[in-house]
A and B are shown apart, each in its own frame.
Chain A
Amino acid sequence: MIQSPNQRVLQWATFARIWWLYDAHMQCPFKSSNKIAHYLQGKHKPVYHPLSQIGDHVVVINSRHIALRDDLWRTFIFSSHTGYRRGFTQRRAWVVHEEDPTEIIRKSVYSRLPGNLLRKGHMARLHIYPDENVPPDILKNVTDQLYPILSIPKRLDQYTEEEVRNFPKLFDWPEDHKLHPGKPVERRGKKPVKASEENT
């Protein structure tokens, strides 16, 4: 059947891929990946079908600055097996993140996608960048942004001294009271690599 120009452009628009930007700064990677996987599969579209490749592109930025709740940086474990004898390895989340800051989001999105032949195509449409330095060719494609799922809390050091001073207090510390300065947590295992060393 020959399509008229009107039908052609309407179909083109229906199956066009939208490019979404997602800022992962201070976002939980596991909760975010539910949303990202939803858009990668095109489940938000009325023409969605599980066997058709009509998903969108998602560009994730600031993946280095994701946030994990509780003690998950230490307790969450990524396991893998090479398939060979004695090939089983387990790494903690902070180790994985330090080796490749895009890895945690990629792995969790991968686990949310259905395990069929379309998964490779869906993953090809996920572009993750550790910071805000996105290649211009990718950034020019972007149409819209996905709303972050968590609201970012303000840290104590981000408040001005005046705001802290004016904050209502229930009681005053006695003058001779000494506040515990806190002890830096010593992490066992691999020594973290700094960003500056990585670049060199």
Chain B
Amino acid sequence: MASFSGMCTCGQVLNKSRVFLNRISPSTVTAHRGIHSRKRHIKPLLLQLYNRRIKEGPVPEEPRSSWLNWNFDAELYAFGKRLGEEFTDSTLKKAFTHRSFVEKEQSKIQDSFEGDEGLLDFQSNEDLISSGMTLISDYIKAYLRHHYPSFPEEGISAVHDYLTTDELLAYIALNIGIKDLILSADFPASEETLSKTFQAVVGALAHDQGMERAELFVQDFVLTQLIGKDINEMWSIVNPMGVLVNILQKQERGGPEPRLLFQSGQKSILSVYVVGIYSDKELIGQAPGETPTIAEEMAAVDALKRLFSTEDCRTPLSYGDKGRKLHIDRNSENPKLQNYVELKEVEEASS
């Protein structure tokens, strides 16, 4: 009995205080009792739960289609409408269906029905991927050649390669809501899968609405990625001065003569030199640099940019209304760097 009373000291004290408080105002105390009697087991419990959650690691990503309210047909329809394009349901469904998914479904059916393949009506998107990629690739090159007629073919290819990397196409695909619609065995979808699905969507658009519409789609979503980027950085010329010498020689112009235009702080660590390159007493390029050597090299790069008409002050690419009015010649090809000058001479002679 003594031990029992010893354990209950706190309770007794509480009871005493309640009695004391009851005498003053019983109604107030009953209303606020929850605050004073805080349950001490709650904090360790929450802490335990929290630590378990941390130990478990992040929750693995679940496909959106695993949710109860997923309606694939409605999502497919909404996808086309969001982009403002008219797709046929069957073509769009085909564009999202990868071969790995078809194979997985086939093996499932084989396991359950012992070789009855008649139920499966999935078509994989391989032909759409290849047709879409050809269209994207051809249109990008034609569009770039139209805007940069003097830019060598190697540079056009470099910009084209930048625009058709899996990384960039996957980025576009992710941001137009392709990710959740993909029917593929791998989950979460890899960059390659995303990129291929985007190509298949372009292929599907070309199939349903024709080449022109698909090309404008590529202009709106792929070529707009060039906004704010410098195409000269995507293609670096090794030994720009040597290239410049060759080009001027073939054009029968005077060789490049570097001259120091301005300099400041020659004896300080923040020195700057501006070198200009002259050919036949005409300034063909100029650039600043930390040392005269660097400035000379950068001036050669600048002279090449002016020759290829891709200077920093070039006109922006045409998108939107201007992009709709373009008349692109598909058959022309830019001169290559080796025979750049020779072709130009032929053009001049013919004109």
Interface positions of A (Cβ within 8 A of B): 4-6, 9-10, 12-13, 16-19, 57, 137-138, 140-141, 143
Shortest distance in angstroms between B44's beta carbon and chain A's nearest beta carbon? 47
Expressed in whole angstroms, the Cα–Cα distance for A89 and B298 within the complex equals: 58
User: Cβ of A16: which chain B residues have Cβ within 8 Å of it?
Assistant: 264-265, 270-272, 288
B301 nearest CB neighbor, chain A only: A6
Expressed in whole angstroms, the Cα–Cα distance for A171 and B147 within the complex equals: 80
Of the four ranges (under 10, 10 to 19, 20 to 34, 35 or more), the interface on chain B belongs to 20 to 34
Q: Tell whether, in the assembled complex, residue B264 and residue A9 are in contact, meaning their CB atoms are under 8 Å apart.
A: no
Best-buried of A5, A13, A141, A143 by chain B (most CB within 10 Å): A13
Binds A, one of B118-126, B289-297, B320-328: B289-297
Q: Tell whether, in the assembled complex, residue A5 and residue B272 are in contact, meaning their CB atoms are under 8 Å apart.
A: no
Which parts of B257-272 form the interface with A (CB within 8 Å)? 262-268, 270-272
Shortest distance in angstroms between A185's beta carbon and chain B's nearest beta carbon? 45
Q: Mark B281-317, 1 if CB is under 8 A from A, else 0.
A: 0000001111000110010010000000000100000
B287 nearest CB neighbor, chain A only: A9
Q: Tell whether, in the assembled complex, residue B287 and residue A19 are in contact, meaning their CB atoms are under 8 Å apart.
A: no
Given contacts A5-B298, A6-B232, A6-B301, contact A12 B272 (CB under 8 A): yes
Best-buried of B230, B264, B288, B289 by chain A (most CB within 10 Å): B264
Expressed in whole angstroms, the Cα–Cα distance for A9 and B290 within the complex equals: 7
Expressed in whole angstroms, the Cα–Cα distance for A12 and B287 within the complex equals: 11
Q: Tell whether, in the assembled complex, residue B265 and residue A12 are in contact, meaning their CB atoms are under 8 Å apart.
A: no
Q: Tell whether, in the assembled complex, residue B264 and residue A141 are in contact, meaning their CB atoms are under 8 Å apart.
A: yes
User: Cβ of B294: which chain A residues have Cβ within 8 Å of it?
Assistant: 9
User: Cβ of B312: which chain A residues have Cβ within 8 Å of it?
Assistant: 6
Q: Tell whether, in the assembled complex, residue B265 and residue A141 are in contact, meaning their CB atoms are under 8 Å apart.
A: yes
Given contacts A6-B232, A6-B233, contact A12 B267 (CB under 8 A): no
CB < 8 Å neighbour of B298 from A6, A57, A141: A6
Would you list 11 pairs from A and B whose C-beta atoms are within 8 A, ordered by A residue?
A4-B233, A5-B301, A6-B298, A10-B288, A12-B289, A16-B265, A16-B288, A138-B267, A140-B266, A141-B266, A143-B264
Expressed in whole angstroms, the Cα–Cα distance for A5 and B264 within the complex equals: 20
Instruction: Flag whether B144 is at the interface (Cβ < 8 A).
Output: no
Q: Tell whether, in the assembled complex, residue B265 and residue A19 are in contact, meaning their CB atoms are under 8 Å apart.
A: yes
Instruction: Flag whether B173 is at the interface (Cβ < 8 A).
Output: no
User: Cβ of B287: which chain A residues have Cβ within 8 Å of it?
Assistant: 6, 9
User: Cβ of A19: which chain B residues have Cβ within 8 Å of it?
Assistant: 264-265
Shortest distance in angstroms between A6's beta carbon and chain B's nearest beta carbon? 7
Which parts of B222-277 form the interface with A (CB within 8 Å)? 230, 232-233, 262-268, 270-272, 274
Given contacts A6-B232, A9-B287, contact A137 B267 (CB under 8 A): yes
User: Cβ of B230: which chain A residues have Cβ within 8 Å of it?
Assistant: 4, 6
Given contacts A6-B301, A9-B294, A9-B298, contact A17 B265 (CB under 8 A): yes
User: Cβ of B295: which chain A residues have Cβ within 8 Å of it?
Assistant: 9
Expressed in whole angstroms, the Cα–Cα distance for A138 and B230 within the complex equals: 39
